Structures are given as C-alpha cells and as structure tokens.
Amino acid sequence: MERVDISILGREYSLACPAEEKASLTAAAQHISQLAGRIQGTGKVSGNERIAVMAAIQVAVELLSVRAPDGPLGGLAVGDFKRRIDDMNLMLDAALAASGPGKVK
C-alpha cells in the first residue's frame, strides 16, 4: 500500500491505496479540493462540512450524467469503456508508427 497525503480546504489527510491507484486517488483528491475551493469562494456556503457535502453532490451529478442512458457513455459498461480507450490508443500508436519519426507534430 502507498501513502497519499492530500490537503482539502486547509486540512491534511493521509490516505492509503494500492500503488497502481495512487495517481487516480491523487487526481480525485485534487478535483475535490478544486470543487471545494470554488464552493468556498462563492461565499454562499459556510462550514467545511457543508462545503464537503456540496462538493460530494457535484461529483455525484458529474458521475450520474456520464452514466445516464442518454449521456455520453450510456449503456456502456466500465470494462467496455476501458477496452474502447485501449483500442483507440492502439490505433493511435499504429498511426504514429506508420507515419514515421518526425512526421507528426
């Protein structure tokens, strides 16, 4: 397990996660920190607990809009989504390799 230290609204948190998830956890924490900072900056919501709840609701809305049947990933399972991304990466790698070194800017 890896240790990840993050700061949200001036409070420090130490989290543990598998090494392969460290980058994802760090990115998620940064996203939450940015959302919480924006919410705090509006001055409309006070108290870290209320700000955290508002940030959690906003993240849930983001997640549900992606998962919605009419959303951009509607009807697509996470595994299928990952496979499609992997397939796209392979196609891009093949296209870059076929164009030769220095031909793509």
Instruction: For each of the domains in the chain, give its residue range(s) and CATH number, in order of start.
Output: 2-99 (3.30.160.880)
What is the pLDDT, as a whole number, of residue 98?
Answer: 76
Mean pLDDT, rounded, for 97-101 = 68
What is the pLDDT, as a whole number, of residue 35?
Answer: 92
**pLDDT category of residue 72 using cuts at 50, 70 and 90:** low
**pLDDT category of residue 90 using cuts at 50, 70 and 90:** confident
Instruction: Indicate whether this model's pTM tops 0.85.
Output: no
Tokens of 21: 């998830």
- Write the CA distances from 62 to 13, 40, 59, 68, integer angstroms: 24, 19, 5, 10
CB atoms within 10 A of CB 35: 20
Question: Who's near 36: CB < 8 A, 6+ residues apart?
Answer: 8, 9, 48, 51, 52, 55
Whether the per-residue pLDDT at 83 is higher than 80: the answer is: no
Contact by Cβ (8 Å): 15, 22? no
